[in-house]
Structure 1
Amino acid sequence: MKTIKGPAVFLAQFMDDKAPFNSLDGLCKWAADLGYKGIQIPTWENRLIDLTTAGESKTYCDELRGKVNDYGLEITELSTHLQGQLVAVHPAYDLMFDNFAPDDCKNNPKKRTEWARKQVISAAHASKHLGLDVSATFSGSLLWHTMHPWPQRPAGLVEMGFEELAKRWLPILNTYDECGVDVAYEIHPGEDLHDGVTFERFLEATGNHKRCNILYDPSHFVLQQLDYIAYIDHYHEFIKAFHVKDSEFKPDGKRGTFGGYSDWQDRAGRYRSPGDGQIDFKTIFTKLTEYGCDVWAVMEWECCVKSPEQGAREGAPFIASHIIEATQKRFDDFAGEDIDKEQLKKILGL
């Protein structure tokens, strides 16, 4: 068994134009004052990191890590969620996903994909320079628009989609392997990797690439009505990162899984701050500890009711209260004795 590290916080949802949320120094002091021990850095935020420079310069990364360490914090992972998303975009989503790309890549899907690929590769080198062994990302999606099979999907479509997705990611995964860094794909609705079956399809398409792993976030599984506890039993060996985010699913006579195109607050399935939803975090932390998952517990705040400030204040003590110090001793060790074969025979009546 292994003790989970934490608490940590993903900074993406807290970025703002106002201090302290507009700089690395400000966010580090804020997080440390709230009791966090680690930060997950969104690499598309150039106010926090210059990813290209980080991928090229160990000196830059040493200085970046030193700055974070000065606040009593560690960098848990670099996140390339937005760039990873752009590695694979179906044309139906081009216009909306252009919002994630630099201006010179907009209206140019080929250039946008190449930019995203280079960004994710830079994160591999930057992670190595920072002494990190895992990086968080999205897979992107070519098939999501066919998620509900109407009209019927033609034979071979799904297989071709995963072959193409793997083709785009394999050179990236190979770079991560050279850098000694795992890729933890967040299993997430909207991505082609959104449950266990799709992860297995992708893993097989990559030839079971050893750097292909999972960022586990149970909130997405509640919204899919998937057993998020059994998921750990199936995939614990692949879980390399962990988002602590809560959610709830409360269907009624008008709303169900698809949500009726409603805003988050009005959906049957919606994200909540840790402790405010339906997720059994006590069992999750127990399972991850029992399986020896070497992960940081990183709070990701996405709540449609509670303010981010309150969510952040409550998040650190919530995670800290769930971290289990893995025992190195059996509770009945006091009754242990040296093996006495003759005594054993007597106990068994032999």
Structure 2
Amino acid sequence: MARPVTLFTGQWADLPFEELGRMTREFGYDGNELACWGDHFDVAKANSDPGYCAAKREQLDRYGLQCHAISNHLVGQAVCDIVDERHKSILPAHVWGDGKPDGVNKRAAEEMKATARAAQKFGIGVVNGFTGSSIWHLLYSFPPVPESMIEAGFQQFADRWNPILDVFAECGVRFALEVHPTEIAFDIHTARRALDAIGNREEFGFNFDPSHLIWQGIDPVEFIREFPDRIYHVHIKDAIVTLNGRSGILASHLNFGDPRRGWDFRSPGRGGVNFEEIVRALNFAKYQGPLSVEWEDSGMERTQGAREACEMLRKLDFSPSNVAFDAAFDR
């Protein structure tokens, strides 16, 4: 049986969910992965208003939409990050507060605990998000970076996220890190190290997104093969490398959408990701969760991209075979 095809609402948070819900159904999706910003999913209301979750479910039901995950990337980013003025634009006012970094880190951690409780009340088993990282800026080892500084970064991640994950465990909810530059895990080796840092606890896994891997030169299929039991959710997003001898893979301080960049995101099916092989790898890993389109393409109109991506996935996704192709020869 084909997996549910959903649309992540994070890139559509400028629209009220009532409007986006109608559009999601018109595009042909089975449901939404709700972002915890805009009016799409409100963590505070879910925890304080006894009727909020039922009302949100009724809103989804009105358009025949499922929901398998909620996402709180923006707040999660501030748990481990070295907080600066950039974070003010992505954080809720009550998390940003007076902007003093230590307080922001602590409030972000509390908000992620609240997100686990909200997911439980909403009947959702997965929260997607980011962790942030205190050591991302040490990526290029000059001045030379002693291993002790990297170890301290992973230890800080464990110290800050284990108490959050304790609440996830209490709520029966799993956290799925979207492995991504600026997070504690951004490739296969750092993902393994992050798991080791927290003792491989089951509450922590991954929101697999191939677009963040392919431009780094990492085969997304190898990530699935390395962590088959930790793929808790899947984003369908594409990217393309456009190196031309003038730009570099580090993007030259050029923003997304600038044609001079060495790589950029693309609407699914219009970049370099081999989604056919990803579906096969997910089948082998026995992943049965949703395929959630995270649409990001600065050069394409988003409603066309979202509709096209849904149609592509309908054609591409398939169930694994339950019989060997040559089984008839045994008769």
For residue 296 of structure 2, what is the amino acid of its counterpart?
Answer: E
User: Which of 237, 245, 250 is the matching residue for 1:258?
Assistant: 250
1:74 aligns with 2:72: no
Q: Is the contact between residue 217 and residue 245 of structure 1 (CA under 8 Å) also seen in structure 2?
A: yes
- The one-letter code sitting in structure 2 at the alignment partner of 1:141 is S
Kindly provide the CA deviation profile for residues 97-137 of structure 1, in whole angstroms up to 9, marking residues without a partner as x. 12223445142223322321222112211221222211101
Q: Residues 274-308 of structure 1, C-alpha deviation per residue, up to 9 Å, x if partnerless? A: 11101100110111012201321011111121111
- Deviation string for 1:184-217 (max 9, x for gaps)? 0000011121111111111111111111100111
Higher gyration radius (CA): 1
Measured against aligned partners, the alpha-carbon deviations of 1:3-51 in whole angstroms (never above 9, x if no partner) come to 45221111111222xxxx2x22111111001101010111122x22221
Q: Within 5 Å, give how 1:238-253 maps onto structure 2.
A: 238-253=230-245
Report the equivalent of 2:225.
233
TM-score normalised over the length of structure 2: 0.93
Question: Is residue 12 from structure 1 mapped to residue 10 from structure 2 by the alignment?
Answer: yes
Cα distance in 2, alignment partners of residues 171 and 194 from structure 1: 22
Q: Name the residue aligned to 2:19.
A: 26
Within 1, Cα distance between the matches of 2:240 and 2:109?
Answer: 34
Equivalence for 2:269: 275
**1:296 paired residue number:** 290
- Normalising by structure 1, we get a TM-score of 0.88
Tell me the secondary structure at the aligned position of residue 225 of structure 1. Answer: coil
* RMSD between superposed Cα atoms in Å: 1.7
Q: Is this contact kept in 1: 2:68–2:125, CA < 8 A?
A: no
Tell me the distance in 1 between the aligned counterparts of 2:192 and 2:307: 37
Question: Aligned residue for 1:192?
Answer: 184
1:347 counterpart residue number = none
Is 1:313 the equivalent of 2:307? yes
CA offset at residue 181 of structure 1?
1.1
Structure 2 contact 9–40 (Cα < 8 Å) conserved: no
Partners of 1:136 and 1:215 within 8 A in 2: yes
* Number of positions where the alignment pairs a residue of Structure 1 with one of Structure 2: 327
Q: Which runs of 5+ in 1 are unaligned?
A: 338-350
Deviation at 1:332, TM superposition (A): 4.7
Offset of residue 315 of structure 1: 1.5
The 5 Å alignment of 1:322-337 reads 322-332=316-326, 334=328
Partner secondary structure for residue 315 of structure 2:
helix
Task: Kindly state the Cα deviation for residue 57 of structure 1 after the two structures are TM-superposed.
Answer: 5.1
Q: Helix, strand or coil for the counterpart of 1:202?
A: helix
Given that 1:58 and 1:130 are in contact with CA atoms closer than 8 Å, whether structure 2 keeps it comes out as no
Question: Residue 293 of structure 2 contacts residue 309 of structure 2 at CA under 8 Å; is this kept in 1?
Answer: yes
Match of 1:44 in 2: 37
1:24 partner letter: F
Separation in 2 of the partners of 1:49 and 1:260? 35
Q: Any conservation in 2 of the 1:146–1:153 contact (CA below 8 Å)? A: yes
Match of 1:156 in 2: 148
Assess if the C-alpha contact under 8 Å between 2:117 and 2:171 holds in 1. Answer: yes
Unaligned 5+ residue runs, structure 2? none
* Aligned-pair CA distance for 1:252: 2.2
Question: Does the residue aligned with 2:239 lie in a helix, a strand or coil?
Answer: strand
Matched residue SS, 1:327: coil
Alignment of 1:105-184 (within 5 A): 105-184=97-176
Aligned residues of 1:41 and 1:48 also touching (Cα < 8 A): yes
Q: 1:221 aligns with which of 193, 213, 216?
A: 213
- Please report how far the alpha carbon of residue 66 of structure 1 lies from its aligned counterpart in structure 2 after TM superposition: 2.4
CA distance in 2, matches of 1:112, 1:4: 42
Which structure ranks higher in relative contact order (CA pairs < 8 Å, sequence separation ≥ 6)? 1
Identity across the alignment (%): 29
Q: Distance in 1 between matches of 2:65 and 2:185?
A: 31
State the Cα distance separating 1:171 from its structure 2 match: 0.8
2:13–2:40: 8 Å Cα contact kept in structure 1? Answer: no
Distance 2:261 2:2 in 1: 32
* Aligned AA (1:8): T
Does structure 2 conserve the Cα–Cα contact (< 8 Å) formed by 1:58 and 1:129? Answer: no
Q: Which amino acid aligns with 1:14?
A: W
